[in-house]
């Protein structure tokens, strides 16, 4: 925010043009023949009915299988891009001049735990279903609503809780039984309890009453 004459100030708001990042991600996946699926903010926008009501983003996020990270890293570095290791597991590739900012995430981390099986399951499921989202003139495989909610529950971040609630409230076809299975398989007791709490908070018709046994 910069000061102007007559005590006026010009407001600088965050702007993210996904086009260059989409082009780069497409280039990476085509060149390496690796599969990545859309997650993060753009995936939420693909699922919710009112994207304008959702929060903003400054990058493009993809889930990948952990085994595929070295090849993506090698390709990015050979092409001269700067990369940063993500503490949650994965890498960020950025180029300010080319307006590229992409995260390739597998979620295997000593600091944040190992959620790579969940991410791999999400990748394989998206491939099997052939589900996609279009951003501009680019198309990407899209994480299921159930996998996306499970990923959001695992972060323990308020903004991700809001995303999870928005998906649960908006996506009529979401399969709560499938979501419970994902939570049981990948999120542990705390994640399972958190899911049930969110379902109760939004008054979901399939929410379990507090104290009811969760198998």
- Would you write out the chain's pLDDT as a tens digit for each of its 215 residues? 444 456 676 666 667 789 999 999 999 999 999 999 999 989 999 998 665 556 678 889 999 999 999 999 999 999 999 999 999 999 999 998 999 999 999 999 988 889 999 999 999 999 999 999 999 999 999 999 999 999 999 988 888 999 999 999 999 999 999 999 999 999 999 999 999 999 999 999 999 987 655 44
State how far Cα 104 lies from the chain centre.
10
Angle, nearest 10°, between helix axes 19-32 and 69-78? 110
Task: With beta carbons less than 8 A apart as the criterion, state whether 165 and 73 touch.
Answer: no
Distances in whole angstroms, Cα of residue 180 to Cα of each of 47, 61, 118, 168, 198: 19, 24, 13, 13, 12
pLDDT value, residue 57:
81
All domains of the chain in start order, with CATH: 10-143 (3.30.460), 145-215 (no CATH)
63 within 8 A of 106, measured Cβ to Cβ: yes
Predicted TM-score (pTM) above 0.85: yes
Q: What is the pLDDT of residues 31-66, one digit of tens each?
A: 999 999 999 989 999 998 665 556 678 889 999 999
């Amino acid at each position: 925010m910069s000061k102007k004459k007559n005590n006026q100030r010009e407001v600088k708001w965050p702007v993210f043009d996904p086009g260059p990042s989409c082009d780069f991600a497409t280039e990476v996946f085509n060149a390496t023949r690796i599969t990545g699926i859309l997650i993060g903010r753009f995936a939420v926008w693909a699922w919710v009915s009112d994207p304008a009501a959702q929060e903003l983003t400054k990058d493009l996020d993809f889930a990948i299988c952990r085994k595929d990270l070295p090849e993506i890293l090698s390709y990015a570095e050979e092409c001269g891009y700067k990369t940063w290791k993500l503490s949650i597991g994965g890498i960020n590739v950025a180029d300010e001049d080319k307006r590229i900012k992409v995260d390739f995430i597998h979620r295997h981390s000593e600091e944040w735990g190992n959620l790579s099986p969940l991410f791999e399951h999400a990748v394989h499921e998206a491939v099997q279903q052939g589900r996609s989202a279009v951003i501009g003139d680019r198309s990407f495989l899209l994480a299921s609503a159930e996998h996306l909610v499970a990923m959001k529950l695992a972060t323990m971040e308020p903004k991700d809780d809001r995303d999870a609630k928005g998906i649960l409230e908006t996506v009529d076809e979401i399969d709560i039984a499938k979501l419970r299975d994902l939570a049981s398989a990948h999120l542990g007791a705390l994640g399972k309890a958190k899911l049930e709490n969110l379902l109760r908070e939004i008054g979901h018709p399939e929410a379990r009453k507090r104290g009811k046994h969760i198998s």
